[in-house]
Amino acid sequence: MWCQLFSEPGAGSDVASLQTRAVRDGEGWLVNGQKVWTSGAQHADFGALLARTNPDLPKHRGLTMFIVDMRAPGVVVRPLRDMTGRAPFNEVYFDDLRLPADAVLGEVDAGWTAAVTMLGHERVSIGGSARRRDAPLNPENLVALARRAGRLGDPEIRRELAAYHAASRTLELFNTRLRQEADAGVAPGARGSVAKLTGAELLWRGVELAGRIAGPGLLAWDRDDEDAAELALAINATPASSIAGGTNQIQRSIIGERILGLPKEPQVDRDVPFRELRVGTQQQG
């Protein structure tokens, strides 16, 4: 089992501002720094770590991806509990973590390319989670909710359920196409952002529809009603869908620039050596 060690306290949407350093140590590397919001790190055997190896290069360069043994000395994982009551993600600390030379994934100082590739596939995965059969907010479960609430005969509810099913099915087919292309060696590229953004918006749409169906019943339920408890958990987890894998705003920028061909946002720091920037936690330097 693997985890993805990208985000930091001062580098969330702007991951390229990350501060975790990997410096050469003989034949290998010495890593110090912190990551946060790392899903599944407490269970992972290995992690894909993005660290800065050359601060004299601009922030999108000078990054390297490493394979990390999550049980190695120097790796500390601390679970973070969210408003669902669970701890799906973690903060991870690296304290003089030693990595061998062959821990480099790809090329030294070219980790941004590896990260973008990985994020594209992650966004496809996130986009497909809304349509999973076991997802409480999938169309079948919302139909069952309407049946239990006595709202299945309501023409307006039926119309919204049909529209939700159509949107969900469209996303499912789009993700199927991306997976088939990936199997054929075609990377999702910026289209992964389409899948991720659509999946996040679909989950929010499901929350709103569940509220219209259940009404006050969405606020309280019998202690032994497992279906209602799972639905409440899904509703509390939905805000994370707009952040995980890059915020919805970031996805719209990617789609606009790389798919629609719109002008890029101004980036005055793109060619400035990283050590000269005041970004993230480096603002205090």
CA 64 to chain centroid, in Å, comes to 20
* Active-site hit among 91, 122, 181, 276: 122
Give the separation between CA 256 and CA 224, rounded to whole angstroms. 47
DSSP 138: S
Query: What is the b/e burial string over 192-202, where b = at least 16 CB atoms within 10 angstroms of the residue's CB?
Result: bbbbbbbbbbb
The DSSP annotation for 221-275 comes to --TT-HHHHHHHHHHHHHHHHTTTTS-HHHHHHHIIIIIS-PPPPP-TTTTSBGG
Contact 194, 258 (CB under 8 A): no
The answer to whether 27 is a known catalytic residue is no
The residue to which tokens 């349509």 are assigned: 131
Q: How far apart are CA 179 and CA 145, in angstroms?
A: 31
The residue length of the chain stands at 285
Residue with tokens 């919805």: 248
Q: State the amino acid at position 8 in one-letter form.
A: E
Name the 3-class secondary structure at 212. Answer: helix
Q: Which residues are catalytic?
A: 122
